[in-house]
Structure 1
Amino acid sequence: TSIDSNEVKAGQELLYKITYKNTTGKVQKVVIKDRIPEHTTYVKDSADNKGIYKDGEITWTKEKVADGETVEVTFKVKVDDNVNGERILNKAKVADGSNTFDTNETTNPTSTKPLKDVFDSKDTNTSIDGNEVKAGQELLYKITYKNTTGKVQKVVIKDRIPEHTTYVKDSADNKGIYKDGEITWTKENVADGETVEVTFKVKVDENVSGEKILNKANVVDGNNNFNTNETTNPTATRPVKDVFNSQDDKTSIDGKGVRGKDELLYKITYKNTTGKEQKVVIKDMIPEHTRYVEGSADNGGIYKDGEITWTKEKVADGETVEVTFKVKVNANVNGEKILNKAKVADGSNTFDTNETTNLTPLRPKPAIPKTGYGANTALYTVLLGLSTGALGAMKIRYRRKKKK
């Protein structure tokens, strides 16, 4: 079954056939040459009838072809994986002594692969594929399909919302239907040569930290089922803050109690996941209810006016920076919370780290003696009782004495 003029797919194996009949009236030497078509690869040893492949061309030589005799030769090629709307064209040359012919040319169109791209929703003209994106940023995805199949097609496009993002409600254009994390567009009659473009928006999750946001769509256009190219957007890794007892920098005490005069060690860890070299500046304000331990900031940290600054001029993509410093808890703390977080700027981003928390104990309140009338009522009552009893005793003694 001939497929001349029919669409072919990436990876498909094609067989070409050249047929010659000698009608010259005499015996002929016949030479057939066929150059492998563009966008294909020759299938090794597929040329029959002793065809010789060299430098992209196959040659068959038949020394004595009788008048009326037919010669038929074949070979195979594989369509390249990266074809994208190109036409695969092929014709052969035949020389039979008296004549030199070009055969008819076969034609096979290939589908145009649909394209996927990603933009900041505020600038839909500049692709940000491969660029870093931030928490809370709104992205617009675009899928473009062109029908190069040679006939009208029903086209169905599906795109699953990428991980680490949230779909922006009602953002799918062209009647895209969102359900269960996936958008579907259905176009019933897309003419040959017509282009279909659809878009939707997502918002990057607030808690992203170093994840890659990946997205590709699926397009079905009748005979073809394509996955588009995949877009990639890295996200920055949020820097991390932690606190330790200065005598043990392995066991975190974040959230635990500390006492006056305790020495604390703070650690800030930053990893560059922006995809490029960055200048990184880390700043940390000494927490309230503590005082800085002189000279404790490592890695060139500079202490001034209650704040430490570290500057790293060239931090390679994937490199981790860790800095530390120490403080001493004030002796007179009394139930206060010791809170600390740092700021990190890496060129592309400015972050606040997580906040560490340490509670301090409440001091016991001293006993306060009670004063005033109410406090001494019992004492008055006792004294009154004693005095009344004493008077009664004196009266009895007096009466007894009088009788005598």
Structure 2
Amino acid sequence: KDKIPAHTTFVKGSATNNGVFKDGEITWTKENVANGETVVVTFKVKVDDNVNGDKILNKANVADGNNNFDTNETTNPTATKPVKSVFNSKDTNTSIDGKEVKAKDELLYKITYKNTTGQVQKVVIKDKIPAHTTYVENSADNGGTFANGEITWTKENVADGETVEVTFKVKVDENVNGQKILNKANVVDGSNNFDTNETTNPTATKPVKDVFSPKDTKTSIDGKEAKAKDELLYKITYKNTTGKEQKVVIKDKIPEHTTYVEGSATNNGVFKDGEITWTKENVANGETVVVTFKVKVDDNVNGDKIVNKANVVDGSNTFDTNETTNPTATKPVKDVFDSKDDKTSIDSNEVKAGQELLYKITYKNTTGKVQKVVIKDKIPAHTSYVENSADNDGT
């Protein structure tokens, strides 16, 4: 009798010499085996895919007459898959695999390898620095060498049963925005080649602000000129990429030089004291929240920029969105002076017959783009134009 060893699967039909497989055990029954006769039986097993440092042990039991023997035990060690872990560099005892990280956070990665191959091994560990991070100079311990974005550790003569542990640090890039920080290492020991498990650290996505005309909510007018009495529609888009459910609070102050359009805040936004607040409980990881509202540009806007940004809090993250900008045109100014004194306005002052008046028109382009400007001025009644007095190529 022979029980199939743990961590293996019996190869169907492989038992020779009429062996019968049942309930994880093969049985051979041989009647009338003569004195001096030899019986040889064989069978096959396949080592399981998930074997990981386990020893494949096997022995058979033989009963002949009154004798009952266990055979010697065969042993086949298997390699142990190395393990990758990630920590905040300030706390190397608590794994943060799967937890959210932020821009500028310093992460410590640890690779743990144990030699269970049954023999001395040369071990080479390689780890590419994850995307969206920067290697912390000289942080690779245990003789690790950093070159071309990868750290390499080479360990000669690692004894059977010996454990090798190596670490290094990276800093999360400042412009990380919803990307996952993924990392795994590769370990070669003798003829074995393993990729470790992959660690994952999600990052938050910065919410986005945009502005539209309510008549066309597909075409952004960020940076485009707005006019008095124009109605603007603002949209804030937030996506939860933090790796867990979040309570999200969005706040947006109504921009200067505008008036809130009553009841325009979608998605249960509440307007109070010049600010709209949206509170969303239980926003699932991967879920997107979009909120909008409208304002009307004031009648007396005059060259002022309509600027707006929102603030979003999700869990421990606080973000200001990008700022939208809509320039407005500046109304040109007309003034009048005595031609002998072009510094002191005489608007509304009495003038006399024969007096020479100098008119000045001042225009400033605050429309946000290059403009062709045409200025026209009719000579006022009761005056005569002074020949060639129009400057700046006036005709």
* Alpha-carbon distance in structure 1 between the residues aligned to 2:328 and 2:168: 51
Please report how far the alpha carbon of residue 348 of structure 1 lies from its aligned counterpart in structure 2 after TM superposition.
3.8
- Matches of residues 114-125 of structure 1 in structure 2 within 5 Å? 114-125=82-93
1:98 to 54, 60, 66: 66
Correspondence 1:259 to 2:237: no
What corresponds to 1:323 in structure 2? 291
TM-score (norm 2): 0.83
What corresponds to 1:336 in structure 2? 304
1:128 to 96, 99, 107: 96
RMSD of equivalent CA atoms:
2.0
What corresponds to 2:368 in structure 1? none
* Alpha-carbon distance in structure 2 between the residues aligned to 1:52 and 1:174: 53
Taking structure 1 as reference, are residues 89 and 236 closer, same or farther at Cα in structure 2, changes over 3 Å only?
A: same
Q: Show structure 2 runs of 5+ residues with no match.
A: 344-353, 356-395
**Cα displacement string for residues 26-78 of structure 1 (whole angstroms, at most 9, x for unaligned residues):** xxxxxxx1001111121222212221111111111222322222111111112
1:169 to 137, 142, 165: 137
Name the stretch that deviates more: 89-98 or 202-211. 202-211
Please report how far the alpha carbon of residue 94 of structure 1 lies from its aligned counterpart in structure 2 after TM superposition.
0.9
What corresponds to 2:248 in structure 1? 280
What corresponds to 1:40 in structure 2? 8
Name the stretch that deviates more: 271-280 or 107-116. 271-280
Taking structure 1 as reference, are residues 373 and 61 closer, same or farther at Cα in structure 2, changes over 3 Å only?
A: closer
- Matches of residues 161-200 of structure 1 in structure 2 within 5 Å? 161-200=129-168
Correspondence 1:210 to 2:210: no
Taking structure 1 as reference, are residues 296 and 107 closer, same or farther at Cα in structure 2, changes over 3 Å only?
A: same
TM-score (norm 1): 0.81
**Cα displacement string for residues 6-34 of structure 1 (whole angstroms, at most 9, x for unaligned residues):** xxxxxxxxxxxxxxxxxxxxxxxxxxx10
* Alpha-carbon distance in structure 2 between the residues aligned to 1:284 and 1:353: 10
Tell me the secondary structure at the aligned position of residue 31 of structure 2: strand
Please report how far the alpha carbon of residue 374 of structure 1 lies from its aligned counterpart in structure 2 after TM superposition.
8.6
- Matches of residues 242-391 of structure 1 in structure 2 within 5 Å? 242-372=210-340
Q: Which amino acid aligns with 1:209?
A: N
* Alpha-carbon distance in structure 2 between the residues aligned to 1:194 and 1:110: 14
Correspondence 1:84 to 2:84: no
What corresponds to 1:239 in structure 2? 207
Q: Which amino acid aligns with 1:332?
A: N
Larger helix fraction of residues: 1
What corresponds to 1:26 in structure 2? none
Q: Which amino acid aligns with 1:282?
A: I
**Cα displacement string for residues 155-184 of structure 1 (whole angstroms, at most 9, x for unaligned residues):** 111001111222222221122111111111
Taking structure 1 as reference, are residues 298 and 102 closer, same or farther at Cα in structure 2, changes over 3 Å only?
A: same
- Matches of residues 18-57 of structure 1 in structure 2 within 5 Å? 33-57=1-25
Q: Which amino acid aligns with 2:75?
A: T
Q: Which amino acid aligns with 1:360?
A: T
* Alpha-carbon distance in structure 1 between the residues aligned to 2:172 and 2:21: 54
Name the stretch that deviates more: 364-373 or 172-181. 364-373
**Cα displacement string for residues 132-166 of structure 1 (whole angstroms, at most 9, x for unaligned residues):** 22222221110011122233222111001111222
What corresponds to 2:358 in structure 1? none
Tell me the secondary structure at the aligned position of residue 43 of structure 2: strand
What corresponds to 1:64 in structure 2? 32
What corresponds to 2:115 in structure 1? 147
Tell me the secondary structure at the aligned position of residue 118 of structure 1: strand
* Alpha-carbon distance in structure 2 between the residues aligned to 1:229 and 1:42: 28
* Alpha-carbon distance in structure 1 between the residues aligned to 2:262 and 2:71: 90
What corresponds to 2:75 in structure 1? 107
Q: Which amino acid aligns with 1:350?
A: T
**Cα displacement string for residues 187-209 of structure 1 (whole angstroms, at most 9, x for unaligned residues):** 22322222211111112222333
Taking structure 1 as reference, are residues 110 and 374 closer, same or farther at Cα in structure 2, changes over 3 Å only?
A: closer
Name the stretch that deviates more: 178-187 or 358-367. 358-367
Q: Which amino acid aligns with 1:230?
A: E
* Alpha-carbon distance in structure 1 between the residues aligned to 2:303 and 2:23: 85
Larger gyration radius, structure 1 or structure 2 = 1
Q: Which amino acid aligns with 2:12?
A: K
Please report how far the alpha carbon of residue 264 of structure 1 lies from its aligned counterpart in structure 2 after TM superposition.
0.5
* Alpha-carbon distance in structure 2 between the residues aligned to 1:320 and 1:232: 21
Q: Which amino acid aligns with 1:255?
A: G
Q: Which amino acid aligns with 2:317?
A: N
Please report how far the alpha carbon of residue 373 of structure 1 lies from its aligned counterpart in structure 2 after TM superposition.
6.3
**Cα displacement string for residues 200-243 of structure 1 (whole angstroms, at most 9, x for unaligned residues):** 11122223333222111011122321111111112222211111
* Alpha-carbon distance in structure 2 between the residues aligned to 1:196 and 1:109: 18
Q: Show structure 1 runs of 5+ residues with no match.
A: 1-32, 381-404
Runs of 4+ in 1 over 3 A off after TM superposition: 367-371
* Alpha-carbon distance in structure 2 between the residues aligned to 1:289 and 1:159: 55
* Alpha-carbon distance in structure 2 between the residues aligned to 1:107 and 1:64: 32
Tell me the secondary structure at the aligned position of residue 69 of structure 1: coil
* Alpha-carbon distance in structure 2 between the residues aligned to 1:264 and 1:137: 38
Task: State percent identity of aligned pairs.
Answer: 77
Please report how far the alpha carbon of residue 316 of structure 1 lies from its aligned counterpart in structure 2 after TM superposition.
2.1
Please report how far the alpha carbon of residue 126 of structure 1 lies from its aligned counterpart in structure 2 after TM superposition.
0.4
Please report how far the alpha carbon of residue 336 of structure 1 lies from its aligned counterpart in structure 2 after TM superposition.
2.3
Tell me the secondary structure at the aligned position of residue 70 of structure 1: coil
